[in-house]
Amino acid sequence: MSNQQPSARPARPAPRPGPGGTSPDLNADYTAVPAKCLVLRAIYRVVTWLFLFFMRKHIDRIVGLEHLPEKGPFVIVANHLSYMDDFLLAHAIRLYYGEKLYIPTNRKAFKGIFRSWLHLACGAVEIDPADREGTYRALRRLIADGRIVLVFPEGTRSDGKALLPFKFGAFNLARELGVPLVPVALLDTHRVLPKCRLWPVKGSRASAVMLPPVLPADFERDGVPAVKASCRERLAAVLQSEAPWNAEAAQVTARHLAARAEHLLEDLIERGPEMIRWTDLRPVFRLVELASHSDPGSHEMQVQQFRAWGFRLLSAPKPLAPLLLPRFRALGACALRRDPHQPFVHYVHGQFHLRAPRIVGGSRQRALASFEEAYRSAPSYGIDRTRFSISYAQALARNGQRHHALHLLQRDFAGYPLHPTRLKQRAERAGALVLRLQAAHP
């Protein structure tokens, strides 16, 4: 389950006990750097940030993300070609879940401080293959703590010509603990970072194709040997294919990521657009970056990116807003060129004009026009127009049309369902706005 041959050296001492007993602390950061001083910790952060920043441009495509479980724990099994494998999958998992990927790695790979730091940056967990019980104990602890674990069932790096025989470890672990197992085919990672090389080859790029998961019920029905053989056959078929991924598969992944980003944004908006902060938007921007590795031209994700950028602009400190404004306008213009009536784009324009000061382009009249277009176009896009009713009513009130705003809210939210929670929050916000409008002008 590591990327090197088993070591003949004796096993290292057991991990230090956690605060509550003899077992390691389950809440520990398994890839923490044992820095002895602040200088060493700072150097580690700078080196790993630079490495991760420059490695991203060597990613070509990441497709099949729609097959991933909603959350951990689960096990990923992949073919092993290069140290680039660790980075590619760790990068994808971090962007998708906002979490680290944990990779059991042979202790022999931690030779030299620089190489050790690069492994730790990608989520490596040092193990000793000679201590099989200790390795299983560490992996069980990670799974029990809800982590996502990557295991290379070949046990070591192959030459890229054919898959090596698979070991049973990862499959036994997934079956024993009742967690899904996701096969992933890695392509051309050995061309990016060949053996005995610590820096990527210029111009090289690698891809990852994620396949439908093996569920716990599949283990019970087919048994571990059959599942292991099936996973190997599926990975081999992708690796031997002349077109491991195509444009349609990339578009499916990008649409899935856009839907996930939309869901995150809607949750934030229902709490109140004015309450959104930059830190709340980080998961959305991670999905935007991930979509750039699947279908960079996805219009669906372009719309969600513009929405997130608009709220980032509105939540930014006032001195910083003029620096963000050109990017906001460019994204909005690009989205409207592709679809002049897109409701979400008009909604964000409306929020900007309603909340921004006039000196940077805010305008109550433009806000009203944008919200009106979003409200009017929503049904033709299959969108519930009550998503825009509250902001539309606010713009009407700001433009002196209080009675129209009250009529709009009372009509749209009369008998409005209170389940699920999101609809209840929307109805409560509408009711609060009605009370404010009535109190302001009895």
pLDDT digits (tens, 9 = 90+) for 86-95: 889 988 999 9
The CATH superfamily assigned to 250-440 is Tetratricopeptide repeat domain (1.25.40.10)
Give the per-residue pLDDT at 121: 67
What number of residues does the chain have? 442
Residue 49, token pair as written in the block: 């940030």
Q: What DSSP string runs through 318-345? A: TTTHHHHHHHHHHHHHHHHHH-TT-HHH
pLDDT of 6 reads 40
* Phi, psi for 122 (deg, rounded to 5): -90, 0
pLDDT value for 43 = 66
| pLDDT of res. 50 | 73
Confidence (pLDDT) at 7: 39
Rounded to an integer, what distance in angstroms lies between the CA atom of residue 312 and that of residue 279?
A: 9
Note whether 167 and 154 are within 8 A (CB): yes
Instruction: Please list the pLDDT of the chain residue by residue as tens digits (442 residues).
Output: 444 444 333 343 344 333 333 333 333 444 444 444 566 666 666 766 776 777 888 999 999 999 999 998 999 999 999 888 988 998 899 999 998 899 888 777 777 666 676 667 667 788 777 788 888 888 899 999 999 999 999 988 888 778 999 999 999 999 999 999 999 999 999 999 888 777 889 999 999 999 999 999 999 999 999 999 999 999 999 999 888 888 999 999 999 999 999 999 999 988 888 889 989 999 999 999 999 999 999 999 999 999 999 999 999 888 888 899 999 999 999 999 999 999 999 999 999 999 988 888 889 999 999 999 999 999 999 999 999 999 999 999 999 999 999 999 999 998 887 677 778 888 888 999 999 988 876 5
| pLDDT for residue 1 | 43
Q: 246: phi > 0 → left, psi -120 to 50 → alpha, else beta; which?
A: beta
Distance CA 143, CA 140 (A): 5
Q: Specify the pLDDT at position 44.
A: 61
Q: Mean pLDDT in the chain?
A: 85
How far is it, in rounded angstroms, from Cα 233 to Cα 216? Answer: 19
Please tell me the predicted confidence (pLDDT) of residue 303: 96
Is 38-245 a CATH 3.20.20.120 domain? Answer: no
pLDDT recorded at residue 24: 37
What per-residue confidence (pLDDT) applies to 38? 64
Residue spans of the domains in the chain: they are 38-245, 250-440
- Residues with Cβ within 8 Å of 96's Cβ and at least 6 positions away in sequence, in order, are 65, 68, 286, 287, 290
Q: Tell me, what DSSP letter sits at residue 280?
A: G
Which of 101, 319, 75, 91 shows the shortest CA–CA distance to 206? Answer: 91
According to the model, what pLDDT value does residue 79 have? 95
> What is the pLDDT at residue 54?
79
